[in-house]
């Protein structure tokens, strides 16, 4: 079989890339080892409950909705605004506007009066970044261009309108080189307050990311029917345009000839030749398992071996015998810090005693997502495979199960501080560790954002101005897209790199 492009992995990056290629009339095969498309954009059903297994709501960032529109899919998904809350102990704060965020900071200032001035400085910088970042909401036009002439006109108009703010935004990128925690430490005296603000963020999060989050929070959407609705319509788009999404199939080898990637071999033994190969899956496995040994230099491999991966997640899926109307709070999505926060140490056996969590309740956005009179709730906690000596896995399966359940008990105790009425109403709980994440997606370490956010430990370059080059690999015609292509990654990086690679492959 010969096609224009093979895409490895049907997560959001692979599907989005495949959809643009198919829509442009290129022959494309997207190969996915799982039985369903989506990667970390997945949902599953259990006892009639709908759970989102990975991401819980998606930031638009001037990309998601324009991408859907550009592919002609905007009418197939009903995106609902997803309102985010910050939770501290037993209090909740809406994060929808500058006023909301100021109210939260006022509350923190009253709890920590000695740090009021520093808090004010952090807030002012967040607000300024919010103002400047509005430029991004309009940024998609050059990326998802409808036709070259219209696009040129629009780009010129866009720069006239936004050029000044774009320059300001570029200046703010200096915060990409400073850790968010260090930024806070320079301004805030109280260690406990720093921990509260820093708690939800990954290890090594740059200040740019931390400061931008209040803006990002306002820009989250949830698709009616659940997260899997997004990969489902992208899959439809590929197949309707003549492409193929091959499920239950793993790519086990990439064929290289004269320094150029020329095809793949699948777990079923099929060989597919292609003009371009786009890896939308783990990069470490790409270089160490899929490519022939002599293809990349030993220097490159040494640098790869030294790099570490970003955080993973510990997830609890709860079936609750309570109707959504009777919950303690009518709130679908919370970033919650349950107690006076300690500095995060993912490997410590005590980590889950105080760890913060993301709480998501799908049926509060769409009632069809739980059985009548019941509620499904998902708790996510940043975590890694290093917790408590590798979750006891080296000892035995029993040790792993027992450490996992003990961590879940500790998380539940904290969850009940915010939802006390649910203590006796849990019908079942399912628990997933960073090892589950790796097993389901093949992402190294179960990483949910690719390479480490820490500038000293990452692998790809981090220069936003050169993001379009991040798809290039040492092998010609082989591109890397998605969460392993650029750092710090997330859905916006996935969508940008997918489109850049699709454009390049399309030209061939
Ligand atoms: C709980 C959670 C919350 C998150 N919250 C946010 C958020 O708020 N904002 C944000 O921006 N991001 C968030 N993320 C991260 C975001 O979801 C991911 O970065 C993004 O979805 C990654 O997409 P991807 O397509 O690059 O990779 P993946 O989703 O990992 O997809 C890769 C696919 O490739 C397949 N695959 C791997 N190897 C092979 C092979 N050899 N052959 C065939 N198939 C293969 C895998 O099975 C998988 O389906 C979150 C993630 C999680 C888990």
With DSSP H G I counted as helix, E B as strand and the rest as coil, what are the percentages for the chain, rounded to 5?
Answer: 45, 20, 35
d(CA 483, ligand 1 centre) in Å: 7
Looking at the structure, tell me whether residues 244 and 322 fall in a common domain: no
Q: Which two tokens stand for residue 170?
A: 């570029």
* 355 and 426 part of one domain: yes
Tell me whether residue 116 is in a domain.
Answer: yes
Q: What is the pTM of this model?
A: 0.95
In a domain, 179, yes or no: yes
For residue 94, the cross-strand partners are: 85
Q: Do residues 430 and 472 share a domain?
A: no
Exposed/middle/buried for 27, CB within 10 Å: 0-12, 13-18, 19+? middle
Is residue 122 domain-resident?
yes
Whether residues 323 and 429 share a domain: the answer is yes
Nearest CA owner, ligand 1 atom 33: 9
Please report whether residue 83 resides in a domain. Answer: no
In-domain check, residue 66:
no
Q: Are residues 176 and 231 in the same domain?
A: no
Same domain, 316 and 356: yes
Question: Strands (DSSP E) along 280-328, which ranges?
Answer: 312-320
Q: Which atom of ligand 1 is nearest to the CA of 315?
A: 1
Q: Are residues 303 and 322 in the same domain?
A: no
Name the domain count of the chain: 3
Q: Tell me: do 291 and 176 sit in the same domain.
A: no
Q: How many CB atoms lie within 10 A of CB 400?
A: 18
pLDDT of residue 149: 60
pLDDT given for residue 150 in this prediction:
61
Do 323 and 403 belong together in one domain? yes
Specify the CATH number for the domain of residue 300. 3.50.50.60
Question: What is the token pair recorded at 134?
Answer: 């509005």
What is the torsional sign of CA 191, 193, 199, 201?
Answer: negative
- 32 falls within a domain: yes
Among 6, 7, 10, 11, name the best residue to mutate to test ligand 1's pocket (greatest count of ligand atoms within 8 A of Cβ). Answer: 11
Could you tell which of 31, 54, 309, 314 is best to mutate to test the pocket of ligand 1, judged by most ligand atoms within 8 Å of the CB? Answer: 54
In a domain, 70, yes or no: no
Q: Which of 2, 45, 5, 12 is nearest to 498 (CA)?
A: 12
Domain boundary among 209, 238, 255: 209
Are 429 and 326 part of one and the same domain?
Answer: yes
In a domain, 75, yes or no: no
Task: Let me know whether 418 and 353 are in one domain.
Answer: yes
Task: Using the CB atoms, write b or e for 145-163: b if 16+ within 10 Å.
Answer: beeeeebeeeeeebeeebe
- As for ligand 1, residues whose beta carbon falls within 6 Å of it are 8-14, 31-34, 39-41, 54-56, 59, 250-251, 280-282, 313, 380, 441-443, 448-449, 482-483, 489-491, 494
Domain that residue 293 falls in: 2-43+227-307+455-507
The whole-number pLDDT of residue 159 equals: 76
Burial of 306 (0-12, 13-18, 19+ CB in 10 A): exposed
CA nearest ligand 1 atom 10, residue: 490
Closest protein CA for atom 14 of ligand 1: 55
**Which residue matches tokens 């991401």?**
55
Token pair 């103002």 in the structure block, residue: 131
Q: Which residues of the chain have pLDDT under 50?
A: none
Task: Measure 109 CA to ligand 1 centroid, in angstroms.
Answer: 37
Whole-number pLDDT of residue 157: 76
- Cα(407) to ligand 1 centroid in Å equals 24
Tell me, yes or no, whether 295 and 318 share the same domain: no
CA nearest neighbour of 21 among 492, 496, 500: 500
In this structure, which residue's CA is closest to atom 34 in ligand 1?
A: 9
């Amino acid at each position: 079989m010969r096609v224009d492009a093979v895409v490895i992995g049907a997560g959001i990056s692979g599907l989005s890339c495949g959809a643009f290629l198919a829509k442009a009339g290129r022959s494309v095969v997207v190969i996915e080892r799982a039985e369903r498309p989506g990667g970390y954009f997945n949902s599953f059903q259990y006892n009639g409950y709908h759970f989102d297994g990975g991401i819980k709501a998606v930031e638009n960032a001037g990309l998601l909705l324009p991408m859907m529109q550009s592919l002609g899919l905007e009418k197939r998904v009903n995106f609902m605004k997803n309102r985010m809350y910050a939770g501290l102990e037993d209090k909740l704060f809406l994060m929808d506007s500058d006023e909301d965020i100021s109210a939260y900071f006022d509350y923190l200032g009253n709890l920590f009066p000695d740090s009021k001035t520093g808090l004010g400085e952090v807030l002012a910088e967040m607000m300024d970044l919010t103002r400047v970042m509005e430029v991004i909401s309009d940024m998609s036009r050059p990326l998802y261009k409808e036709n070259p002439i219209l696009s040129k006109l629009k780009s010129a108009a866009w720069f006239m309108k936004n050029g000044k703010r774009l320059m300001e935004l570029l200046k703010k990128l200096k915060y990409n080189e400073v850790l968010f925690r260090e930024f806070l430490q320079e301004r805030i005296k109280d260690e406990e307050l720093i921990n509260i603000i820093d708690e939800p963020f990954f290890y090594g999060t740059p200040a740019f990311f931390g400061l931008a989050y209040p803006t990002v929070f306002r820009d989250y959407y949830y698709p009616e029917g659940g997260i899997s609705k997004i990969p489902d319509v992208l899959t439809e788009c590929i197949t309707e345009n003549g492409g193929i999404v091959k499920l239950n199939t793993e790519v086990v080898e990439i064929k290289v000839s004269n320094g150029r990637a020329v095809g793949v071999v699948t777990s079923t033994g099929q060989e597919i030749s292609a003009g371009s190969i786009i890896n939308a899956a783990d990069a470490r496995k790409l270089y160490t398992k899929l490519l022939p040994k002599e293809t990349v230099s030993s220097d490159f491999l040494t640098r790869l071996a030294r790099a570490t991966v970003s955080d993973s997640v510990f997830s609890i899926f709860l079936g609750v015998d309570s109707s959504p109307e009777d919950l303690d709070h009518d709130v679908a999505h919370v970033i919650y810090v349950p107690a006076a926060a300690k500095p995060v140490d993912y490997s410590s056996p005590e980590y889950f005693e105080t760890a913060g969590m993301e709480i998501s309740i799908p049926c509060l956005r769409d009632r069809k997502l739980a059985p009548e009179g019941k509620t499904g709730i998902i708790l996510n906690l940043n975590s890694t495979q290093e917790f408590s000596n590798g979750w006891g896995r080296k000892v035995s399966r029993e040790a792993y199960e027992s450490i996992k359940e003990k961590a879940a008990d500790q998380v539940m105790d904290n969850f009940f501080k915010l939802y006390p009425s649910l203590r006796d109403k849990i019908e079942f709980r399912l628990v997933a560790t960073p090892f589950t994440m790796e097993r389901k997606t093949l992402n190294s370490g179960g990483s949910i954002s690719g390479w480490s956010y820490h500038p000293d430990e990452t692998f790809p370059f981090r220069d936003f101005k050169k993001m379009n080059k991040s798809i290039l690999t040492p092998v010609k015609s082989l591109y890397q897209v998605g969460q392993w292509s650029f750092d710090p990654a997330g859905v916006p990086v996935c969508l940008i790199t997918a489109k850049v690679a699709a454009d390049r492959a399309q030209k061939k």
